[in-house]
Amino acid sequence: MNIYTLIFCFSLSFIISFASTPFVKKLAFKINAIDVPNSDRHIHKKPTPLIGGLAIFFGFIIGILLFFRPLDVQVRGILIAASIMVLAGIIDDTIVLKAKVKLLIQIVCALIVYFHGIRIMYISMPDFVIEGGILPLKWFSLPITVIWIVGVTNAVNLIDGLDGLAAGVSSIATFALFFIAILVGENDVAILTAALAGACLGFLPYNLNPARIFMGDTGALFLGFILSIVCIQGLFKGYALISFVVPFLILGLPLFDTFFAILRRLINKKPIMEADRSHLHHKLMDMGFSQKQTVAFLYVISILLAILAVVVVRNGAQQAIWFVIAILAAIAVSMFISMQNSSTNKKDDLAKTIKSENKSVNVIVNKIEVIDDENNGDKL
């Protein structure tokens, strides 16, 4: 495929998303799609418009309609299901849907794309794992495809807890998928990821801290849904070891967070769909990271995982082992440095607070002394 076509697709999706976000923001106020902070789970302090994901959707759809030719059965299935998912997100951002209703909608959307030909038919593995390197799924294809799509959709939704986090992590994952699509010659996936990456980055400037608009479930559900489909189209089809390993690397951060969220709720005997304040980004902030530091740190992890995925595709798993060691070392060092900076900042803030309080106490004491002097003067 012509690289200039991909660049043009990316650029157009970026422009559409960036230009439409202010209009989506106005629409959010009109339909009262506003996130009002009312619990300790909310990091933001003031009401913020939702449905920002609608701008991402616009950028993606226009990019696909203009550059994806022909619009085959699979692409039509994607567009239909994605439109339903976005509509459900808008409704949820406005009047709040029950968790079971959202889950049902996600399953329906997964079934739509499945019966339009987007399905996990088999998984490629190394020969030492299974003879021939191919594991046919047969009748398990349907449930595994649905579980994958619904799982990734909710995983991206769950990390949408800080300004710019979900949009940034999704952008990183999309770029990784784009480069892999180029490497293995998946032109259709390259177009999908070029449009999605452009749309995500077009929205991101409005979503970075302090966010002027949130993507809401409108964006988080849509992004998770499309990412899950792109993985099926480009990675689960084959290419030896990578078809099983790479999707879990690229989406490692949201999948890791979701797995432990489910495990945590099961152990605590709480509903799986119940929200809490124990996600990875919450834990990092409780450790002393600021919101910007937390997002930057999670970006770094996502970038390292994305690079690792590309290395696995390019050079194989054995060549990637040393890179894994380097990643772990980099994460350990960055966490240490960030914690040191956070501790220093906290000490500085505490010192400033104490100094300010001492000034306030001195002012009060001086006022009391003045009042006493005045009273003594009156007595005389």
Q: Please indicate, yes or no, if residue 349 is contained in any of the structural domains.
A: no
Residue 31: inside a domain: yes
Considering its fold, how many domains does the chain have in total? Answer: 1
Q: Give me the domain span that covers residue 71.
A: 3-315
pTM above 0.75, yes or no: yes
Residue 293 falls within a domain, yes or no? yes
Quote the pLDDT of residue 241: 42
Residue 132 lies in a domain: yes
DSSP states of 192-237: HHHHHHHHHHHHHHHHSSSPSS--HHHHHHHHHHHHHHHHHHHTTT
Strands (E), the chain: 34-35, 48-49, 122-124, 134-136
Within a domain: 156: yes
Report if residue 238 sits inside a domain.
yes
Looking at residue 366, what is its pLDDT? 57
- 170 assigned to some structural domain: yes
The token duo for 202 is 């077009």
**Cis omega before residue 70 (within 30°)?**
yes
Mean pLDDT, consecutive 10-residue stretches, the chain (380 aa), reads 88 97 95 79 74 96 88 91 96 91 96 93 68 77 93 88 88 93 87 95 93 92 94 63 69 82 78 69 76 87 87 69 63 56 49 53 51 51
Is residue 101 one of the residues assigned to a domain? yes
CA 337 to chain centre: 24
